[in-house]
Structure 1
Amino acid sequence: MKDIISGLRVTAATMAICVAGYTTVILGFAQAVTPATANGSLITQADGSVIGSRLIAQGFTSPEYVWPRPSAVDYDAAGAGGSNLSPANPELAERALALIAAHGRDGAPIPADLVTASGAGLDPHISLEGALFQVDRVAEARRVEPAAVRAIIDRMAHRPGGVFTPAPIVNVLELNLELDAELVSPASTE
């Protein structure tokens, strides 16, 4: 019986240190050093309401917005995951063909990230090439010159890993918010 009580004490102490103590220290450190990141990298409006997160993709389908990568989980952060379809699966090809048709640029080679989902289905970024591919549609829907949209995309593109990032990427939510802030947008509920 003495061994059982000793074992329970060690278990309780280990849980207190490893679960409660460690978590509290890490959370406190994160709040002190990078509070925005520790709280989910949330983007808020002036009134404090949350628009979204810089780290999780949102679905945009209106023509005046740049569209993100497709999501195998319908942009549901609670259920991140890939489609697990084999490259030979006909469903994957059908989905890609539907996305190519939705982008509506006959004959123009479409960037791969616009027709393929990321591993988690929630990647908030697309390639600079993928964003620039959508310039004409966005400019037409907003009734502005394509150069205005292109300038915003170029300004929002970045290399998060510096020279170690092979190509610039663009955060779709931040780009769309910037487009709304700088360019006329038809009334939209999206």
Structure 2
Amino acid sequence: MTNHVLRIDASARHDDSVSRKLADKVIDKLSPATVTKRDLSTPLPLIDSTWIGANFTPVDDRTDEQKATLALSDTLIAEIEAADTLVIGLPIYNFAVPSTFKAWVDLVARAGVTFRYTENGPEGLLKGKRAILAVASGGTEVGSDYDFATGYARHMLGFMGITDVSVVAADRLMIDPDASHKTANDQIENLAA
């Protein structure tokens, strides 16, 4: 049962965004008690040398300035930790994820916080969560050799421990919009609440 959804919208569009409309339908299907929203249309800051320096300074040694530098990242990670399910409205831009989604990933993929390295390789620390990617594309077929968005999103979520990832896709909208919407709606209908 999904009690708390973290909704992440990566589309620069609003009213006419297919990925946002798909995310709406997914959340309606899940009927969660709580929805936390993170809209990436207002871009997040990119990581820089100051952020990297703060991130790799041991927690007990961080200055107040370094703690402030990491505050947004800490908030974004806390949003994931609080959620049972992530619903990510993910358009495909130029065969890949929007830069705003990549900026979000860079801020939440933190060694020792959301993943760690072990003698057996990396281990994700955000286990026991589910993610649903609500994907929209004009011409890119989801799962094709030139879809660099869904594979990347799956990989990064899995790297952080979220391995239960479903895809709802309205892809190739510029080629056959009716079929694309029907396929996505059928996939949403078949999602387990």
TM-score grouping bracket, smaller chain normalisation: under 0.3
From the two aligned structures, give the one with the greater helix fraction. 1
Q: TM-score, normalised by structure 2?
A: 0.25
Structure possessing the higher relative contact order (Cα contacts under 8 Å, 6 or more residues apart)? 2
The structure number with the bigger radius of gyration is 1
Q: What TM-score comes out, normalization by structure 1 length?
A: 0.25
